[in-house]
């Protein structure tokens, strides 16, 4: 049976920096002042919303050469008066 252990604290720090050099109190986390300074210098710890919008995803299905040919065939059939 395989057991896993947590990585050493030095592995959790930034490359080349120890937690002490990064001003991190490992048991308690960042101080409010350090968190405010990092927020000001680096910005929020967030990623942009990249979820696909349902309408945009549905409309994207019609934006390629094969759907264009099918749409052109439909328009041609309507112009020629061939209704199914």
Q: Chunk the chain into consecutive blocks of 10 residues (it has 84) and report each block's average pLDDT, rounded to whole numbers.
A: 52 51 70 89 85 86 90 93 80
Give the pLDDT confidence score for residue 14 in this predicted structure.
54
> Does residue 37 fall inside a structural domain?
yes
Give the pLDDT confidence score for residue 34 in this predicted structure.
86
Which residues are registered as beta bridge partners of 45? none
> Does residue 64 fall inside a structural domain?
yes
60, 81: one domain: yes
> Does residue 82 fall inside a structural domain?
yes
Give the pLDDT confidence score for residue 57 in this predicted structure.
86
59, 78: one domain: yes
80, 57: one domain: yes
Give the pLDDT confidence score for residue 48 in this predicted structure.
83
Q: Tell me the chain's radius of gyration from C-alpha atoms.
A: 28
**Overall number of domains in the chain:** 2
> Does residue 47 fall inside a structural domain?
no
> Does residue 65 fall inside a structural domain?
yes
Boundaries of domain holding 77: 53-84
């Amino acid at each position: 049976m395989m057991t896993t252990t947590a990585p050493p604290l030095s592995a959790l720090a930034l490359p080349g920096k120890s937690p002490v050099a990064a001003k991190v109190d490992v048991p308690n986390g960042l101080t409010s002042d350090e968190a405010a300074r990092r927020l000001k210098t680096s910005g929020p710890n967030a990623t942009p919303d990249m979820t696909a919008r349902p309408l945009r995803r549905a409309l994207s299905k019609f934006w390629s050469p094969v759907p264009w040919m099918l749409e052109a065939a439909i328009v041609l059939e309507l112009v020629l008066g061939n209704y199914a």
